[in-house]
């Protein structure tokens, strides 16, 4: 799509790869949902291609001034794939960047860049799964211990994850004149580009996944760090659940910090400053590809090792 947006041949090729048609493919692939992705698509280079600009004009993808808008080809492409999935009796699932006026209303939107994108998708009539990187990206650092291995992303402790509110009271669904979609649930992510073994995945995921699971499957409650519920959870986690993880051989992160063999001395990390990005981006965050640079345009942050590196995107 990045090389030939809007052309029919790549679209047909991708559509053939989707195990979406009823009765086709192994039974284990016949799921009711098909994930299409659609995140982090840089569209600026398309402006330099006369062929792509002409394709946007032919498809009627125009700015308010009537000029061809190549950026809309992203939404056009994803919408066409989503209709293919829908026609085959499935529901497409996309990341929040793929939301556009062209996207069919039956498509489920997973909001990862922040809460605001999920609220906007609900307003547009889409069902939504909340998965904001500010709260539930478990590959982000779980503590500020100086020996934390490859410390990346936002600081999100076990208590922070336990305090995750999928739809905070201060957040509202904009009035679009449409019937809003439904908040289907929540999702946590563990991206593995810097997790080079199953042990590292264990370390990043557990025990924070236990905190996330309790939020996802329990009635709403005050779970803010320091609350009675949070303290009770930590006691229960240490007394009951961590021994289970030990018994299963899960290499989780101890609550007090990494074991010596879990550290990565001298390996540079990529920490991000949640407070700074929240001030700059609000409920929408600053992650993902943005034409203005997003998080990469924030003032440089200096981690504990003095390397002065900040992560761009997720």
pLDDT digits (tens, 9 = 90+) for 129-158: 999 999 999 999 999 988 899 999 999 999
Question: Count of alpha carbons within 13 Å of 219, Cβ hemisphere only?
Answer: 0
Per the confidence metrics, is the pTM higher than 0.85? yes
Concatenating the DSSP letter of every residue in 75-90 gives HHHHHHHHHHHHHTT-
Residue 183 CB coordination number (10 Å)? 17
> 3-class secondary structure for 120-170?
HHHHCCCCEEECCHHHHECCCCCCCCCCCCCCEECCCCHHHHHCCCCCCCC
Contacts of 134 (CB under 8 A, 6+ apart): 114, 115, 154, 274, 277, 278, 285
pLDDT averaged per 10 residues, the chain (length 314): 60 64 56 90 91 94 94 94 89 96 97 97 97 98 91 96 95 90 97 94 98 95 96 97 98 96 89 95 93 72 41 43
Cα 16 to chain centroid, rounded: 26
Helix (H) or strand (E) holding 92: strand 91-95
């Amino acid at each position: 799509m990045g090389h030939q947006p809007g052309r029919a041949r790549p679209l047909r090729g991708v559509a053939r790869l989707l195990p979406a048609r009823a009765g086709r493919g192994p039974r284990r692939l016949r799921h009711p949902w098909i994930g299409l992705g659609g995140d982090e698509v840089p569209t600026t280079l398309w402006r330099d291609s006369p062929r792509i600009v002409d394709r946007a004009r032919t498809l009627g993808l125009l700015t308010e001034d009537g000029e061809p808008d190549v950026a809309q080809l992203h939404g056009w492409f994803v919408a066409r794939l989503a209709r293919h999935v829908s026609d085959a009796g499935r529901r497409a699932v996309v990341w929040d960047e793929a939301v556009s006026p062209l996207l069919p209303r039956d498509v489920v939107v997973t909001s990862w860049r922040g809460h605001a994108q999920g609220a906007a998708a609900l307003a547009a009539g889409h069902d939504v799964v909340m998965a904001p990187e500010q709260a539930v990206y478990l590959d982000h650092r779980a503590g500020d211990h100086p020996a934390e291995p490859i410390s990346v992303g936002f600081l999100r402790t076990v208590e922070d994850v336990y305090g995750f509110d999928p739809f905070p009271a201060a957040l509202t669904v904009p009035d679009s004149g449409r019937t809003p979609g439904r908040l289907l649930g929540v999702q946590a992510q563990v991206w593995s580009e810097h997790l080079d073994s199953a042990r590292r995945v264990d370390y990043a995921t557990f025990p924070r996944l236990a905190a996330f699971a309790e939020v996802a499957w329990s009635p709403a409650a005050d779970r803010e760090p320091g609350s009675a519920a949070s303290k009770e959870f930590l006691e229960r986690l240490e007394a009951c659940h961590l021994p289970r993880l030990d018994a299963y051989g899960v290499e989780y992160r101890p609550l007090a910090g990494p074991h010596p063999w879990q550290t990565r001395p001298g390996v540079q990390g990529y920490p991000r400053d949640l407070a700074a990005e929240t001030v700059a981006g609000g409920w929408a965050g600053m992650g993902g590809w943005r034409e203005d640079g997003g998080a990469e345009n924030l003032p440089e942050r200096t981690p504990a090792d003095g390397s002065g590196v900040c992560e761009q995107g997720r």
